[in-house]
Structure 1
Amino acid sequence: MRHSVSILALTLVAACASSTETRDIASPETAQKVQTSAAPAEEVQTPTAMEAATGASAVLKDTTKEARAKQAQTTEQAAIEETEKLYAFFSEQFDARIARSPMFQTSLGLKTNYNQWDDPSDEADIAHFKLDQAAASLMEELVDYDALTPDGQLSYRLFKNNALQQKSLFPFRHHNYVFDQMNGVQSSIPAFLINQHRIKSVSDADAYIERLNGIPEYLGGHLKNAQMSAEKGIRPPKFVYKYVRSDIANVLKGAPFSEGEDSPLFNDFKEKVNALDISSDEKLTLIMKANAALITSVQPAYEQLSAWLESDLENATDDDGSWKLPDGASFYQQRLAAMTTTDLSAAEIHTLGLKEVDRIHSEMRNIMQKVEFKGNFKEFFEFMRTDPQFYYSSDEEGRQRYIKEATQLIDTMKTKLPSAFNTFPKADLIVKRVEPFREKSAGKAFYQRPAADGSRPGTYYANLYNMNDMPTYQMEALAYHEGIPGHHMQLAISQELENVPRFRKYGRYTAYTEGWGLYTEYLPKEMGFYQDPYSDFGRLAMELWRAARLVVDTGIHDKKWTREQATQYLMTNTPNPEGDCIKAIDRYIVMPGQATAYKIGMLKILEVREKARAAMGANFSLAEFHDILLASGPIPLSELELSIDQWISESTSQS
Structure 2
Amino acid sequence: MPSRHILLASVALALVAAAPTAATAQAATPAATQSAHDQLHRLFDESDEANLKRNPINAIFRGDLRYADHLGDYTTDAYFNAERAASEDDLKRLHGIDRGKLDATDQIAYDVFEWQTKLSLKNLTPEMLALTAVRPLDHFTGFHTFYPGFASGEGAAPFKTLADYENNLKRHKEYVVLLDRSIERFRQGMKSGVVQSKMTVNNMIGQLDNLINQGVEGSTFYGPVNKFPAGIPAADQARLKTAYAAAIRDELIPAHIRLRDFLKNEYLPVARDNVGISSMKGGETVYRAAIEQLTTLPLTPDYVHNLGLSEVARIKHEMEAIKTQVGFKGTLAEFFDYLRTDPKFKPKTKQELVDGYYAIGKKVDARIGEQFSTIPKTPLEIRYYEAWREKTQAGGSYESGMYDPKDPSKNRPGIFYFNTYDLPSRTTPGMETLYLHEGAPGHHFQISLAQENDRLPAFMRYGGNTAYAEGWGLYAETLWKELGMETDPYQRLGGLDDEMLRAMRLVVDSGIHSKGWTREQGIKYMLDNSKMGETDATAEVERYIAWPGQALAYKVGQLTMSRLKAKAQKELGAKFDPREFHAQILMTGALPMTVLEKKIDDWIAVTKAKG
Would the TM-score normalized by the shorter structure come out above 0.5? yes
Q: Does 1:386 align with 2:346?
A: no
Contact 2:523 / 2:537 at 8 angstroms: preserved in 1? yes
Counterpart residue number, 1:269: 224
Counterpart residue number, 1:339: 294
Counterpart residue number, 1:442: 393
Equivalenced residues, count: 572
Counterpart residue number, 2:62: 108
After superposition, the C-alpha distances for 1:559-597 in whole angstroms (9 at most, x for unaligned) are: 111111111111111111111111111011111111011
Q: Does 1:118 align with 2:67?
A: no
Q: Distance in 2 between matches of 1:161 and 1:533?
A: 42
Counterpart residue number, 2:93: 138
Counterpart residue number, 1:200: 160
SS state of the match for residue 632, structure 1? Answer: coil
SS state of the match for residue 472, structure 1? Answer: coil
SS state of the match for residue 446, structure 1? Answer: strand
Counterpart residue number, 1:643: 599
> What code does the residue aligned with 2:386 have?
E
SS state of the match for residue 196, structure 1? Answer: coil
Counterpart residue number, 1:293: 247
> What code does the residue aligned with 1:246 have?
G
Alpha-carbon distance change, 414 to 271 in structure 1, aligned in 2, over 3 angstroms: farther
> What code does the residue aligned with 2:364 have?
M
Contact 1:428 / 1:457 at 8 angstroms: preserved in 2? yes
After superposition, the C-alpha distances for 1:602-636 in whole angstroms (9 at most, x for unaligned) are: 11111010101010111110110000001110001
Q: Normalization by structure 1: what TM-score?
A: 0.85
Q: Distance in 2 between matches of 1:190 and 1:91?
A: 31
The structural deviation recorded for 1:238 is 1.1
> What code does the residue aligned with 1:390 have?
F
Of Structure 1 and Structure 2, the greater helix share is in 1
Alpha-carbon distance change, 319 to 408 in structure 1, aligned in 2, over 3 angstroms: same
Contact 1:469 / 1:576 at 8 angstroms: preserved in 2? no
Q: Distance in 2 between matches of 1:6 and 1:286?
A: 53
Q: Which moved more, 1:335-344 or 1:612-621?
A: 335-344
Where do 1:403-552 residues align within 5 Å?
403-451=354-402, 453=404, 454-552=410-508
Contact 1:185 / 1:222 at 8 angstroms: preserved in 2? no
Alpha-carbon distance change, 306 to 6 in structure 1, aligned in 2, over 3 angstroms: closer
Q: Distance in 2 between matches of 1:629 and 1:441?
A: 32
SS state of the match for residue 117, structure 1? Answer: coil
Q: Distance in 1 between matches of 2:355 and 2:303?
A: 42
Q: Normalization by structure 2: what TM-score?
A: 0.91
Counterpart residue number, 2:120: 166
The structural deviation recorded for 1:4 is 4.3
Q: Which moved more, 1:597-606 or 1:409-418?
A: 409-418
After superposition, the C-alpha distances for 1:225-277 in whole angstroms (9 at most, x for unaligned) are: 23223322222211222221221122222342xxxx622111x122343x333
The equivalent position to 2:209 in structure 1, one of 241, 244, 249, is: 249
After superposition, the C-alpha distances for 1:349-379 in whole angstroms (9 at most, x for unaligned) are: 1111111111101111111011101211121
Q: Distance in 1 between matches of 2:386 and 2:288?
A: 34
* Structure of larger gyration radius: 1
After superposition, the C-alpha distances for 1:195-238 in whole angstroms (9 at most, x for unaligned) are: 12221122221222222333321221222223223322222211
Alpha-carbon distance change, 202 to 5 in structure 1, aligned in 2, over 3 angstroms: closer
SS state of the match for residue 447, structure 1? Answer: strand
The structural deviation recorded for 1:484 is 0.3
SS state of the match for residue 436, structure 1? Answer: coil
Contact 1:175 / 1:325 at 8 angstroms: preserved in 2? no
Q: Does 1:308 align with 2:296?
A: no
Q: Distance in 2 between matches of 1:328 and 1:388?
A: 44
Q: Does 1:227 align with 2:181?
A: no
Contact 1:117 / 1:218 at 8 angstroms: preserved in 2? no
Counterpart residue number, 1:213: 173
The structural deviation recorded for 1:114 is 2.0
Contact 1:4 / 1:85 at 8 angstroms: preserved in 2? no
Q: Which moved more, 1:324-333 or 1:347-356?
A: 324-333
The structural deviation recorded for 1:2 is 9.1
> What code does the residue aligned with 1:356 have?
E
The structural deviation recorded for 1:642 is 0.8
Contact 2:513 / 2:548 at 8 angstroms: preserved in 1? yes
The structural deviation recorded for 1:145 is 1.2
> What code does the residue aligned with 1:187 have?
T
Q: Distance in 2 between matches of 1:604 and 1:557?
A: 24
Contact 1:495 / 1:506 at 8 angstroms: preserved in 2? yes
After superposition, the C-alpha distances for 1:505-534 in whole angstroms (9 at most, x for unaligned) are: 111111111111001111122333211100
Q: Which moved more, 1:245-254 or 1:638-647?
A: 245-254
Counterpart residue number, 2:33: 7
Q: Does 1:91 align with 2:45?
A: yes
Q: Distance in 2 between matches of 1:279 and 1:127?
A: 41
Counterpart residue number, 1:617: 573
Query: Percentage identity across aligned positions?
Result: 30
> What code does the residue aligned with 1:560 have?
G
The equivalent position to 1:184 in structure 2, one of 142, 148, 152, is: 142
Q: Unaligned stretches of 5+ in structure 1?
A: 9-80
Q: Distance in 1 between matches of 2:294 and 2:232?
A: 48
Q: Distance in 2 between matches of 1:254 and 1:231?
A: 34
Q: Distance in 1 between matches of 2:523 and 2:161?
A: 49
Contact 2:394 / 2:536 at 8 angstroms: preserved in 1? no
> What code does the residue aligned with 2:579 have?
A
Q: CA RMSD in A?
A: 1.7
The equivalent position to 2:315 in structure 1, one of 360, 365, 382, is: 360
Q: Does 1:239 align with 2:199?
A: yes
Contact 2:397 / 2:438 at 8 angstroms: preserved in 1? yes
Contact 1:187 / 1:248 at 8 angstroms: preserved in 2? no
The equivalent position to 1:282 in structure 2, one of 232, 236, 244, is: 236
Q: Distance in 1 between matches of 2:158 and 2:213?
A: 23
Q: Distance in 1 between matches of 2:86 and 2:425?
A: 44
Counterpart residue number, 2:6: none
> What code does the residue aligned with 1:391 have?
K
> What code does the residue aligned with 2:278 have?
W
Q: Following TM superposition, where does structure 1 have runs of at least 4 consecutive aligned residues deviating by more than 6 angstroms?
A: none
Q: Which moved more, 1:521-530 or 1:146-155?
A: 521-530
The structural deviation recorded for 1:5 is 4.3
Contact 1:122 / 1:225 at 8 angstroms: preserved in 2? no
The structural deviation recorded for 1:174 is 4.7
Q: Distance in 2 between matches of 1:469 and 1:589?
A: 22
Contact 1:468 / 1:577 at 8 angstroms: preserved in 2? no
> What code does the residue aligned with 1:573 have?
N
Alpha-carbon distance change, 429 to 158 in structure 1, aligned in 2, over 3 angstroms: same
Contact 2:199 / 2:275 at 8 angstroms: preserved in 1? no
After superposition, the C-alpha distances for 1:455-474 in whole angstroms (9 at most, x for unaligned) are: 21111111211224432101
The structural deviation recorded for 1:448 is 0.7
> What code does the residue aligned with 2:261 have?
A
Q: Distance in 2 between matches of 1:213 and 1:2?
A: 40
After superposition, the C-alpha distances for 1:63-84 in whole angstroms (9 at most, x for unaligned) are: xxxxxxxxxxxxxxxxxx3212
The structural deviation recorded for 1:483 is 0.4
